[in-house]
Amino acid sequence: MTNQSTNPIHSQAYEEAATYITSRTSIKPEVGLILGSGLGVLGDHLTDVTSIAYEQIPHFPVSTVEGHAGELLIGRLNGRPVVLMRGRFHMYEGYGPELTSFPVRVMRELGVSKLVVTNAAGGINTGYEPGDLMLISDHINLTGRNPLVGPNEARFGDRFPDMSEAYSRKLRALAHDTAKENGFALREGVYIGVLGPSYETPAEIRMMRILGADAVGMSTVAEVVAARHCRIEVLGISCISNMASGILDQPLSHAEVIETTERVKSRFLKLVSEVVPKL
Give the nearer residue to ligand HPA in terms of CB position, either 135 or 244: 244
The DSSP result for the chain, as a single string, is --------S-TTHHHHHHHHHHHH-S----EEEEE-TT-GGGGGG-EEEEEEEGGGSTT-----STT---EEEEEEETTEEEEEEES---GGGT--HHHHTHHHHHHHHHT--EEEEEEEEEE-STT--TT-EEEEEEEEE-SS--TT-SS--TTT--SS---TTSS-HHHHHHHHHHHHHTT---EEEEEEE---SSPPPHHHHHHHHHHT-SEEESSSHHHHHHHHHTT-EEEEEEEEEEEPTTTSSS---HHHHHHHHHHHHHHHHHHHHHHGGG-
Q: Does 222 bind ligand HPA (CB under 6 A)?
A: no
The residue with its CB nearest to ligand HPA is 122
Residues that are catalytic:
37, 68, 90, 92-93, 120, 218-219, 242, 254
Yes or no: say if 157 and 229 are a contact pair by the CB < 8 Å rule.
Answer: yes
CB under 6 A: which stretch of 170-178, 213-221, 225-233, 264-272 binds ligand HPA?
Answer: 213-221
Q: Does 274 bind ligand HPA (CB under 6 A)?
A: no
For 47, list phi and psi in degrees, rounded to 5: -115, 165
Distance between CA 255 and CA 275 in Å, rounded?
Answer: 29
Q: To the nearest whole angstrom, how small is the minimum distance from the Cβ of residue 161 to ligand HPA?
A: 26
Q: Does 39 bind ligand HPA (CB under 6 A)?
A: no
Supply angle C-alpha 151, 12, 222, rounded to 5: 55
Binding mask 99-128 for ligand HPA (x = CB under 6 A): ---------------------xxx------
Give the nearer residue to ligand HPA in terms of CB position, either 46 or 252: 252
Q: Does 244 bind ligand HPA (CB under 6 A)?
A: yes
Q: Does 35 bind ligand HPA (CB under 6 A)?
A: no
CB under 6 A: which stretch of 1-9, 12-20, 86-94, 240-248 binds ligand HPA?
Answer: 240-248
Give the nearer residue to ligand HPA in terms of CB position, either 61 or 122: 122
Q: Does 216 bind ligand HPA (CB under 6 A)?
A: yes
Binding mask 160-199 for ligand HPA (x = CB under 6 A): ---------------------------------------x
Q: Does 38 bind ligand HPA (CB under 6 A)?
A: no
Q: Which of 252, 264, 275, 276 binds ligand HPA (CB under 6 A)?
A: 252
Q: Where does this chain bind ligand HPA (CB under 6 A)?
A: 120-122, 199-200, 216-218, 241-242, 244, 252, 257
